[in-house]
Amino acid sequence: MIQALWFLAPFGAYLRTMTGTFLADDSPETIAAMVALEHQHPPGYPLLTLAGKLVSYWPVGGVALRINLAGAALAALACWLTARLAARLMRRMELGEPIALAGGSLAAILLGFAWTFWSQALSAKGAIYAANAVLLAYLFDLAIRAAWGDVAPGRAAAAAALATGLGLANHWMSVVAAAPGFAVAWWAWRRSIRVPVRRVAVTAVIAVLGLSVYLLLPIRAVTPLLLNWGRPETLKSFAWVVSRAQYAPVEAGKRVDGYWHARIRHLEQVAAREWTLLFLPAGAIGVAAAWGVLTGELVLLGSVAAFVFGAVLVVSNPPLDRIFITEPYLLPAIQVWSLLGGIGLAWAASRLKRGEATAWILAAGSAVWLAGWHGPGLDESRYYVSYDYGWNLLEGAPPRAVVFCEGDFDLFALMYQNEVEERRSDVAVAAAVFLDYDWYRETVHRMLPDVVPRSHKLLEYTVRPVRPLLYTSQHAGGEGVLRPVGLTVRPPLGTGYGLEDSARNWRALRFRGIWDAYERGPALARSLITSYGTQMARLGQAARAGDPALAIAAMVKAGRLPQELVGRVYTRYTLAQYLMTVPAQSAEHRQRLLAAAEGELVKITAEAPGFWRAYLLLGNLAFLRGDRPAARRALELALSALPAAGAEPDRARVERLLRGL
């Protein structure tokens, strides 16, 4: 029963906080690659792609939900394996079965509820790292049991070879980084683990068997796939993809001034965030408790964690404003520290009077504390921005259009809707950002021979205007990336051609800095920004259709929007702002937009009469209608709603407006 909780506790937390669609990361790419058996970005991740293809047939919910559930299950399985190993190590320390089970429970909690591990368990892309954590926990357990003599060395070597081969086909970078740590442990245990020479060849064959999953890449490369990354039809192109040569200039590039200071500060923030400062020292206690009894085991765990940690620092070289992308790479070190932390906390409890009861109280308390501390900030259950954004862009395209996408967010969100949900099969999605690569030029020509020919000059593309051509970008403009003949790709403000409203609204969301607030903000801010992003995308469609009721219905439609009072107020207020600024197609259309905005503001004043900004906008609306008395009354209400102290600049602003009337 207790061991079942090692899986069920984290899995339940993930179910409670995961989205039914996908997040604003590489998840839509991952899901689409699984369904269509395409190539994700290098190194391709063929193991997860094949496994996801099988999962996509599950008769549960939508495809995205199925993949998310599988990723959460893998993460929970990694917690179970880590907890089982912690319990075994504590039995070796002869602390008794209850303390061993409590230590396993603590290890499962510290890993499962660590911020980075939990966040990756909610993402389809995070399934790559969850699978890596499963394989790593299995290899730890296998090596330790072989050293103890609980499993024959030859059998352990064969099993480890298969797991290593599969790991290399999943996320070879982590496996290669961890390999020196296992080599150090083997040297320490070389007298205990002696693999017969005749087994070496068999072991190598088994490892190659696991690696054979990479054959998916050249086999599928001959088909006209949207994600045919690198088109690995030849040995050279295959090596280019698998080696991730595309990222070498970034990872091996020169580090800017202040780089190491920024990295160290980031690591400090990550360490404090993972378990809060309350449980951060637990791993050190575990090392102290096990030293002398489990010396070889600590060498294994510490060496692997140290080599992975060092590889992340030395090899990964992201821009200073994107250091956060390296956080998932640290998961093996987080996994080891969680395991040692479970041992340390249980050992410390066992030293106290009524140690067994104390250990279980500590396990329950740590679960409540970490779940309460991290849960609200990691709750993605109402996150539909990415899904809705891609859907709205795709639905806004004219028949038989070709949409050139600049940036991962636009490309992957559209690709998911087009390939996985099979919406708008008449519309083709192309990756504008890849058109500088010969391999993609050939790929897109195979997909769209009537639109994109093979011959081209760098940055100057001949596009035959036989179908409507659109361009959308998550970035400020994409200048110098795509210049099809006869297609304007950078009108004023960097607005995308043909998808003006949706593209502009999304960029407005990013430029206002709201995305950064979403990443760092508390639960209420995250819920608010989720709803804000949803209406930004939907307003584009509403404006094109000339139907403000569509935007209102889209906002009210789902219980996806904030249910608490503050969230509802700000959502309605933001919607009113944008209804007032949407370009009108006629005088009648303008009046409909303003009436819709006024309706939202009136609802705010009825529900939250102290929200002074609503009165301010109502005054603006009255002024636009030429009703100065009504505008004055609204501004006076705004003035009375302002607090008596602490709002002097706002009060001065309203008083200045009143004097102008």
pLDDT, one tens digit per residue, over 355-396 is 889 999 999 999 999 999 998 888 887 777 677 667 766 766
Say which range, 200-214, 340-354, 551-565, 643-657, has the weakest mean pLDDT.
Answer: 551-565
With a CB cutoff of 8 Å and minimum separation 6, the contacts of 469 are 401, 402, 404, 451, 463, 484, 487, 497, 498
What is the model's pLDDT at position 551? 52
* pLDDT bracket for residue 586 (50, 70, 90): confident
The more confidently predicted of residues 152 and 106 is: 106
Residue that is written with structure tokens 């659109």 in the block:
470
* Whole-number percent of the chain with pLDDT over 70: 78
What is the model's pLDDT at position 7? 94
Length of the chain: 661
Average pLDDT over residues 588-598: 80
- What 158-164 contacts at long range (C-beta under 8 Å, 24+ apart), as own/partner pairs, is 158/199, 158/202, 158/203, 158/206, 160/203, 161/203, 161/204, 161/206, 161/207, 161/210, 162/206, 162/207, 162/209, 162/210, 163/135, 163/138, 163/139, 163/210, 164/139, 164/207, 164/210
pLDDT tens-digit profile of 54-74? 999 988 878 888 999 999 999
CA–CA gap between residue 589 and residue 544 (Å, rounded) = 12
What does the block give as tokens for 26? 């590489």
Residue that is written with structure tokens 């939250």 in the block:
608
The more confidently predicted of residues 651 and 216 is: 216
pLDDT score of 219 more than 80: yes
With a CB cutoff of 8 Å and minimum separation 6, the contacts of 489 are 404, 471, 478, 482, 483, 496, 497
* pLDDT bracket for residue 132 (50, 70, 90): very high
What is the model's pLDDT at position 395? 67
* pLDDT bracket for residue 461 (50, 70, 90): low
